[in-house]
A and B are shown apart, each in its own frame.
Chain A
């Protein structure tokens, strides 16, 4: 019975392969400066289907903000310098090499010669200059624009010759080449008209004809079916070849199904309608692992992610707001020993076990074990201790009444609520565990689940909350994206937003350290500076760090070169190298 089912599956797949065969790859010619992926091998053919949680909203790389759109667009576009998701280091992409001036302000990029967009049109420096003009245009409001404005000044781009571009930064910037990652190079010949007419924002919507869209990524648009799927096909002119000098990508087609939720992703995967899931929750991962006998799958646990979940107390300046009840509690929240006591009482191991089914790691600082390059391993990992927490509270003149309730120095019982997004089951569970943990200190904690945007609104705008469980990070391993979280003037300085002056010496020190690391070009020195930042954060606990989930992914056993990374986009970063194994190959791989 099983054999018959497998045979039919094979026949269907073969039929699918024959029918779906898109454009065949162009033979590499000597005029092209192609990138050779040394270790990669595979073979052509096949369609890979991925279930995505939602529908992309646009195919315009400059204005896309949602992760789903960016995931699809990322396969169709390429950047000048790319961050290799496996090594977390930069590597040449459309720029085959680059030089940095000794002061770290001038970058000269050498573009690949002879390569073409997915519509066959050649790519050169004019496209680069055009792309940056679009990204930096105030009227386009690209979310990437802020990256390119350093100290309020934009970086300048000049064309040196047809294949050389020069970037000048307003001041030295550490790891500046990482800025180029994710900035898709646009085809000037297709987009200039709409840009000049001021209609760039409407360009490349989902209904744009496939022939109007071209990029330098491994795939190009084939078809969009509203509400159902986006089908990409091979870009026959892609600029990478494998170890056999065969042009990548291997896949004929890459299909994104819109399935709605993670549970639906899992069900579609189990039903064999999709072949890969990018980021699984531990519940679903463990489910698939338990059912291994029934469902053959390549399960990948890539270890801790870069995301950090934390509990933050509201220390915002509430004088202009009418929030007296919260303001009264802020004297607790501003007390370091109070925060230390809370941190000491939280059972992080239980969080990892019960929330992440052991597929996660406890956190005591903002950089977790997943970020091997930057983590400060000297930060202590104290065991959970209710006694230590009680000592801390006692020394901060808190006391307990007959019923075991915690009272502050004025005799007011300690009671506060934690808000968290109701759509995130994991954080809801964390809140329930913390509520129980803190009840051992005599604190009465209320868990208040709110809809996601209502949480954001309270934390960023109205400040009408007492404590919140949230998560940040996960984008890049480098410290620079964290600038806005830890510096006083930062826009994600959640515990105290719009702070004009550093409230305390340690915050002042962090400001200085973060600024300094940003202009320090030497990795060793930067690491020292950032280690000190991590130490200060762990000592003063503006956030109480909880845990980080592992990056979990799954693929059908027939997907070859499946190597997920801990950085977004987790499984599809090497989409050009993925291929479909023959049944014999996949049996051998098992």
Chain B
């Protein structure tokens, strides 16, 4: 058990630290285009050349031929570690030039290939993850917070409160949100800074998303509030807020954790839809959502497998979060019994 928890913590810290320090880990500027190398496959790391073995990996440059790209073996470029490169802002504050690894000009190292503009997919996955994961988590928290408040209140008080709150969830689940989003977009200024986009994504998703968790929570509360210990606590004169906080909330914690693990990736992907209405993260800034949206194209999906990288990153994130949710769940259960 302890080893498991330890590896979970390592994975969590590793994931978030990599994303946080994306500028350092990534060898390239995520927005830098290389128009001679669109859709280039991942750069291969070599250890053996014609003469001998090398401890330090090296790469060749891609050259475009009639049948696609081939490695130009005339010159090899060793991979340097902790080396200088394009400038970036570490944690959004400090100007820095140091990168974890890189190769000398004119070669480029694109571990996950390049996209249609010749931009380094690896660097984009990392820098895109910053905004996407943060927005996904923030939106999930918002939706679950609103959802659990409304769900608990509806389930706890029942009757008219229940009817009207659940009526509201049904209303929210039926409305044509696309038109609402279009309307919202029309009222906003044309250009939205990434910070504003982040806020907007969070609020819009939270606003649309709270209704489902609210219904799920309310279902559990309905039965939880008539459990004996709740009834007992009530007869001792426990206030409503105390009862909800002390006895009802723990009952729905498991559900909320499961929901959280499901919603974070869902909400990251929701940006794909939102960007259709101009509410997403705009070029040239990367996000997992706008990277995934190119994958919807059949020709891209079947031709350039390496562009699945953001999807893979999302799956990894999602698995880590689901394990975190399970671990937290069993811990909390353990404590309450």
Query: Is A354 engaged at the interface, CB distance under 8 Å to the other chain?
Result: yes
Flag if B284 contacts A451 (CB, 8 Å). no
Whether A283 lies near B300 (C-beta < 8 A) is: yes
Also in contact, A447 and B35, with CB within 8 A (given A283-B300, A454-B182, A454-B185)? no
Contact A263 B117 (CB under 8 A): no
Interface string of B26-65 (1 = CB under 8 A from A): 0000010101001000000000000000000000000000
Once bound together, how far apart are the Cα atoms of A260 and B277, in whole Å?
Answer: 20
What string of 1s and 0s marks CB contacts (under 8 Å) between A406-450 and chain B? 000000000001010011010011011101100000000011111
**Complex CA distance for A281 and B294, rounded to whole angstroms:** 14
**Distance in angstroms between the alpha carbons of A219 and B168 in the assembled complex:** 53
Contacts of A423 in B (CB 8 A): 276
Please provide the chain A residues from 349 to 368 with a CB less than 8 Å away from any CB of chain B in the complex.
Answer: 350, 353-354
Contact B299 A419 (CB under 8 A): no
State whether the Cβ of A507 lies closer than 8 Å to any Cβ in chain B: no
- Bound Cα distance from A240 to B190, whole angstroms: 55
Closest beta carbon of chain A to B34's beta carbon, Å: 11
B190 near A267 (CB under 8 angstroms)?
no
- CB-CB under 8 A from A433, the residues of chain B are 33, 35, 117
* Given A422-B275, A450-B277: A283 and B297 interface contact (C-beta under 8 Å): yes
**Which residues of chain B are within 8 angstroms of A538 by Cβ–Cβ distance?**
none
B251-280 interface (Cβ within 8 A of A): 275-278, 280
Q: B38: which of A263, A347, A354 is its contact (CB, 8 Å)?
A: A354
CB of B29, distance to nearest CB on chain A (Å): 11
Provide the bound-state CA to CA distance between A173 and B190, in Å: 43
B298 touches A266 (CB 8 A): yes
Q: Which residues of A contact B280 (CB under 8 A)?
A: 449
The majority secondary structure among interface residues of chain A is helix
Q: Are A451 and B283 in contact (CB under 8 A)?
A: no
Which of B33, B38, B278, B294 meets A454, CB within 8 Å? B278
Chain A neighbourhood of B294, CB < 8 A: 425
Residue from B117, B185, B190, B294 whose CB has the most chain A CB atoms within 10 Å: B190
Chain A interfacial residues counted at CB < 8 A = 36
B303 at the interface (CB under 8 A from A): yes
* Main secondary structure on B side of the interface with A: loop
Question: A319 within 8 Å of B by Cβ?
Answer: no
* B292-337 residues at the A interface, CB under 8 angstroms: 294, 297-300, 302-303
The residue that B299 contacts in the complex, of A286, A354, A448, A457, with Cβ under 8 A, is: A286
- The CA-CA distance from A559 to B226 in the complex, in Å, is 72
Identify A429's interface contact among B116, B186, B275, B299, CB under 8 A: B116
B282 neighbours in A (Cβ, 8 Å):
446-449
Cβ of A267: which chain B residues have Cβ within 8 Å of it?
298
Interface assignment of A55: CB less than 8 Å from any CB of chain B:
no
Is B191 close to A, CB under 8 A?
yes
A287-B299, A287-B303 are contacts. A354–B283 as well, Cβ < 8 Å? no
CB distance from B286 to the nearest CB of A (A): 12
Within 8 Å CB of B283, what residues of A?
428, 431-432, 435, 447
Report whether B278 and A290 are in contact in the complex, using a CB–CB cutoff of 8 Å: no
Q: A284 an interface residue at 8 Å Cβ cutoff? A: yes
| Nearest-neighbor residue (CB-CB) of B193 within chain A | A446
Please give, as numbers and ranges, the residues of chain B lying within 8 Å of A422 by CB-CB distance: 275-278
Q: Which of B147-197 contact A (CB under 8 A)?
A: 182, 185-186, 190-191
**Are B298 and A347 in touch, CB under 8 angstroms?**
no
- Is B190 touching A448 in the complex (CB atoms < 8 A)? yes
Chain B residues 8 to 40 lying within 8 A of chain A, measured CB to CB, are 31, 33, 35, 38
* A449, closest chain B residue (CB): B278
CB-CB under 8 A from A79, the residues of chain B are: none
Contacts of B303 in A (CB 8 A): 287, 290
Cβ of B183 to closest chain A Cβ, rounded Å: 10
CB-CB nearest in chain B for A265: B298
In the bound complex, CA of A224 to CA of B153 (Å): 52
A242: B residues at CB distance < 8 A: none
Whether the pair A448, B116 counts as a contact (CB closer than 8 A) is: no
Q: In the complex, which residues 68-119 of chain B have their Cβ closer than 8 Å to any Cβ of chain A?
A: 116-117
Interface string of A277-288 (1 = CB under 8 A from B): 000010110110
Q: Which residue of A lies closest to B32 (CB)?
A: A436
Query: Which residues of chain B are within 8 angstroms of A307 by Cβ–Cβ distance?
Result: none
Decide yes or no: A464 and B185 within 8 Å by CB, A263-B298, A422-B278, A447-B282 being known contacts: no
Set of chain B residues within 8 Å of A338, measured between Cβ atoms: none
Q: Could you tell me which residues of chain A, from 309 to 357, have a CB within 8 Å of some CB in chain B? A: 347, 350, 353-354
- A256 and B219 CA atoms in complex are apart in Å by 48
Complex: A457 Cα to B183 Cα, angstroms: 12
A466 proximal to B (CB < 8 A): yes
Shortest CB distance B277–A (Å): 5
- By beta carbon, the residue of chain B nearest A419 is B190
B297 cross-chain contacts in A, Cβ below 8 A: 263, 283, 425
Compute how far the CA of A465 lies from the CA of B298 in the bound complex, rounded to whole angstroms: 32
Closest to B189 in A: A325
B275 neighbours in A (Cβ, 8 Å): 422, 449
CB-based nearest A residue for B277: A451
Report B221 CB to chain A, min CB distance, Å.
39
8 Å CB contact of A432 from B117, B278, B299: B117
Q: Which residues of B contact A286 (CB under 8 A)?
A: 299
Query: Which of chain A's residues have a CB closer than 8 A to the CB of B182?
Result: 451, 454
For B284, list chain A residues within 8 Å (CB): 432, 435-436, 447
Q: How far is the CB of B93 from chain A (nearest CB, A)?
A: 18
Specify which chain A residues have a CB less than 8 angstroms from the CB of B299 in the assembled complex.
263, 266, 281, 283-284, 286-287
- Chain A positions 94 through 114: 1 when the CB is less than 8 Å from some CB of chain B, otherwise 0: 000000000000000000000
In whole angstroms, how far apart are the Cα atoms of A283 and B304 in the complex?
Answer: 12
Min Cβ gap B320→A in Å is 31
Q: Tell whether A446 pairs with B117 under 8 Å between CB atoms, given A287-B303, A350-B35, A435-B283.
A: no
Interchain CB contact under 8 A, B185 and A450? yes
Contact with B191, one of A266, A436, A446, A454 (Cβ below 8 angstroms): A446
Contact A417 B298 (CB under 8 A): no
For residue A347, which residue of chain B has the nearest CB? B35
Closest B residue to A450 using CB positions: B278
Would you give the shortest CB distance from B172 to chain A, in whole angstroms? 22
Q: Is the CB of B190 within 8 A of A464?
A: yes
Chain B residue, CB-CB nearest to A285: B299
B contact residues around A290 at 8 Å (CB): 303
B117 & A451 in contact (Cβ 8 Å cutoff): no
Across-interface contacts of A428 in B (CB, < 8 A) = 283
Kindly provide the distance from the CB of B284 to the nearest chain A CB, expressed in whole angstroms: 6
**Which residues from B are CB-within-8-Å of A425?**
294, 297
Q: Closest Cβ of chain A: how far from B251's Cβ, in Å?
A: 43
Residues of B within 8 A of A432 (CB): 117, 283-284
List 7 additional contacts besides A429-B116, A433-B33; criterion CB under 8 Å. Answer: A353-B38, A422-B278, A449-B275, A449-B276, A450-B277, A451-B276, A454-B185
A-B contacts, 8 of them at CB < 8 A, read A267-B298, A350-B35, A419-B190, A432-B283, A433-B35, A436-B117, A454-B185, A466-B190
Q: Which residues of A contact B (CB under 8 A)?
A: 263, 266-267, 281, 283-284, 286-287, 290, 347, 350, 353-354, 417, 419, 422-423, 425, 428-429, 431-433, 435-436, 446-451, 454, 457, 464-466
Q: Residues of B at under 8 Å CB distance from A?
A: 31, 33, 35, 38, 116-117, 182, 185-186, 190-191, 275-278, 280, 282-284, 294, 297-300, 302-303
The 9 A-B pairs of least Cβ separation, nearest first, read A263-B298, A283-B299, A446-B191, A450-B278, A287-B299, A432-B283, A417-B191, A447-B283, A417-B190
